Amino acid sequence: MLKLLWLIPVLPLAGFLVLALCGGRLSRRQVAWVGCGSVGTAAVTTALVSVDFFQGFPDRAFYQQTLWNWIDTSGMTVGVSWYLDALSLLMVAVITGIGFLIHLYSVEYLSGDDGYSRFFAYMNLFVAAMLTLVLADNLLLLYLGWEGVGLCSYLLIGFWYREPEYGTAAQKAFIVTRIGDTAFAIGLFILFTQLHSLSIQQVQTLAAEAWPIGSTRAVIVAALLLIGAVGKSAQLPLQVWLPDAMAGPTPVSALIHAATMVTAGVYLIARMHQLVALAPLVQETVAVIGLLTLLLAACSALVQRDIKRVLAYSTMSQIGYMFLALGVGAWSAALFHFLTHSCFKALLFLAAGSVIHSLHHEQDIFRMGGLRRQLPVTFWTFLIGAAAMSGVPLITAGFYSKDWILWSVWSSPLSHHWIWFGALLGTLLTGLYSFRLVIRVFFGEAHTLASGEPGFAMRVPLVVLALFALTIGFLEVPHTLGHLSLFSPYLSHVLPTLEIRAGIDESSETLEQIAVTCSALLGIGLAAVLFLPRFNFIERCADMPAGHALATWWQNGWGFDRLYDRLIVRPWLHLTRDSGEILDHGSKLLVIGAESCHAWLSHTQTGHVRWYAATVAVGTLVLLGLFAL
């Protein structure tokens, strides 16, 4: 069954081709079958492949399959080859599984849209590109998936192409991530020039042999890869595209945030962990970037009005946790949070989509309220998602993953205590913004009338994802709470496990957990106090000038957009405002020169015989004079 591996990315690709080439001739029902079916079969194939994979596991820790030689010339050999190990299997399972649920949801969500087949074509291509990214055996193929994901996000963000703002948002997403991609590409040039290989495994082995820890080359390459990862994962300072990316239909946001795209950066760093470990400076930067992003994004999430923008900033913040974990060397914890996050974030987006759908595309949370009676299924699933995101202890998956990260941050030899405090503050803010959303949307007075609960195709993904958001955390229960460890041994064949720093008492884990739990619960409690209408505290705060200014600043994402506008966009527009070019003046000067010479010479052609005779005489004299001399 392992031999079927190649089918996993090919199936969605085939779906894309069918829909792109003859989507117009298919009925909506057929489009839905092709679009969903291709991803669904990919998910089934993944299940079949993983059964086989686990039979040989852990003796056979990876499986490689080469389809054909992509480039084979002049010392560069790159194949279209897949590489399946514990890490990529985890990614593939999430992408196909959650991807399928999102596709199923879209069947109903977009049922009234003109571009039905175009939508599913793009979505299938998106999944195919992401699968290529995570299954690639070499960095060039990974780059193919990497750019493919960028293209699909562009197409889907700008899906409703008639709106110019959506087009701008789509272009922004592509161009900002392409800045990161270009850095990534330069990293590849250096790697290949130095090590003459692009195979992910081989490059890292060679790098570890050739470059000592902390050597300049390792730092430069790792930093370039980090810039690439930061661009795709919407971390500081390339995070500006993500909030605007909400222009696309809601299932697209779910796909971008949960299963594809933004997790690509996390995957890249985890995949290249040996190389990153060679550059401690870069790894530390990863942690700091993660911490800063998670705090800044959490603050911005607190003050947004648009339900999808809140979720967008929450994604940035949660990916920040993953980066933080990667930065302190807690590789498995980062991926565990990736797993739980993709469940609850997909759930949150789909539930938010259900709210938006039932309110006829209303996205402003201040115009919502009291929806818990009208939309019970949506309410409960959204509540579970928000609880998982805030890390409500014991019963939600988010608790287990976030707790693991925070414990790693506390105990890692690569970390500092101040980082932990920052991350702890983050859990408080997470609880605060998650439940602000829940309260604003589902409690209080009803401002609008919902058109009723969604249908079957939308409800099934919600319920399934809610179950996952509750239970998937039990794959890794810390030993203070009973110790069930399935996830970390599974990944330990790919990623190194974290050593505990000397001087940290393992018994302090309980204390640390209590702190995390209290912080999360405090956040939720505060949300109730601040945002429940009967207290109305926050509105009085926002009325004060200082509070208002702060809220506006945060709402605009800490002014990064304005900064980049001044620093980059405006100078660029200034540079490109004139369609003429400087160098053309050179050739125009030639023309002017020739014309003036012509004018000057034509003066000599007066038509007067006397003048001609005189010039002939003078010319003769001059020539004779020259000869005589």
Partner 1 sequence: MVLWFLILIPMLAAPLAWIGQQWSRHVARWIAIGALATDLCLALLLWSQDHSGQVSGHGSWLFESHTSWIPLWGISLHLGLDGLSLVLILLTAFLGLIAIVASWTEIQSRVGFFHCNVLLALGGVIGVFLAIDLFLFFFFWEVMLVPMYLLIAVWGHANRRYASFKFFLFTQAGSLVLFVSIITVAFLHQQATGRPSFDYADLMRLTLSKEMAWWLMLAFFIGFVVKLPAPPFHTWLPDTYTEAPTGASIILAGLLAKTGAYGLLRFTVPLFPEVMSEFAPIAMGLGAIGILYGAVLACSQTDLKRLVAYSSLSHMGFILLGAFAGTELALQGVVMQLVAHGLSTGALFMLAGALYERFQTTDMRQMGGLWGVIPRGASMALFFACASLGLPGLANFIGEFLVLFGSYSAQPMVTILASIGMVMAAVYSLGMMQHTSFGPQRETRLAPDLSNVVFGALLLMAALQVLLGLYPRPVLTTTRPVMETLVQPAVPSSHLTHPPSDQMPSANLFTSHVSSP
Does residue 167 bind partner 1 (CB under 8 A)? yes
Q: Any contact of residue 206 with partner 1 (CB under 8 A)?
A: no
φ/ψ bin of 66: left (φ > 0), alpha (ψ from -120 to 50), beta (otherwise): beta
Site membership for partner 1, residue 506 (CB under 8 A):
no
Binding flag, residue 422, partner 1 (CB under 8 A) = no
Residue 433 to residues 349, 368, 522, 597, Cα–Cα distance (Å):
15, 16, 12, 76
Rounded distance, CA 105 to CA 464, Å?
Answer: 11
The correct pick among 4, 14, 185, 521 for binding partner 1 (CB under 8 A) is: 185
216 is a site residue for partner 1 (CB under 8 A) = no
Among 72, 364, 499, 539, interactor with partner 1 by CB under 8 A: 72
Q: Specify the stretch interacting with partner 1 by CB under 8 A; choose among 56-64, 185-193, 244-252, 360-368.
A: 185-193
* The one among 85, 147, 403, 509 contacting partner 1 by CB under 8 A: 147
* Shortest reach from residue 24's CB to partner 1, in Å: 8
CB of 175 to partner 1, least distance (A): 5
Encoded amino acid at 295, one letter: L
Element (H, E) at 62: strand 62-73
Contacts of 584 (CB under 8 A, 6+ apart): none
- Between residue 270 and residue 299, which ones bind partner 1 under the rule CB under 8 A? none
Helix, coil or strand: residue 167: helix
Residue 296 C-beta: closest distance to partner 1, Å: 25
Element (H, E) at 82: strand 76-85
Does residue 175 bind partner 1 (CB under 8 A)? yes
Peptide bond into 376 cis (omega under 30): no
Regarding 576 and contact with partner 1 (CB under 8 A), the answer is yes
Our finding on whether 581 is near partner 1 (CB under 8 A) is: yes
Q: What DSSP assignment string belongs to 338-376?
A: HHHHHHHHHHHHHHHHHHHHHTTS--BGGG---HHHH-H
Q: Hey, which residues between 314 and 353 contact partner 1 (CB under 8 A)?
A: none
Contact string (CB under 8 A) for partner 1, positions 15-54, x = contact:
-----x---x------------------------------
Q: How far is the CB of 363 from partner 1 (least distance, A)?
A: 22
The three-state secondary structure class of 64 is strand
376 CB contacts (<8 Å, ≥6 apart)?
A: 453
Of 182 and 556, which has the nearer Cβ to partner 1? Answer: 182
What is the secondary structure of 458-489 as a DSSP string?
HHHHHHHHHHHHHHGGGGEE-GGGT-EESHHH
Sole binder of partner 1 in the list 48, 179, 377, 425 (CB under 8 A): 179
Q: Does 144 bind partner 1 (CB under 8 A)?
A: yes
Counting contacts by CB under 8 A, is residue 182 touching partner 1?
yes
Query: Of 25, 59, 112, 164, which lies in the binding site for partner 1, with binding defined by CB under 8 A?
Result: 164
- Per CB under 8 A, which region of 266-274, 368-376, 466-474, 584-592 contacts partner 1? 584-592
**Is the omega angle on the peptide bond into residue 58 within 30 degrees of 0, that is, cis?**
yes
Enumerate the β-bridge partners of residue 66: 81
d(CA 239, CA 181): 14
Which residues sit at the interface with partner 1, rule CB under 8 A? 20, 24, 68-76, 80, 140, 143-144, 146-148, 151, 154, 158, 161-162, 164, 167-168, 170-171, 174-175, 178-179, 181-182, 185-186, 188-190, 192-193, 572, 575-579, 581, 583-584, 586-587
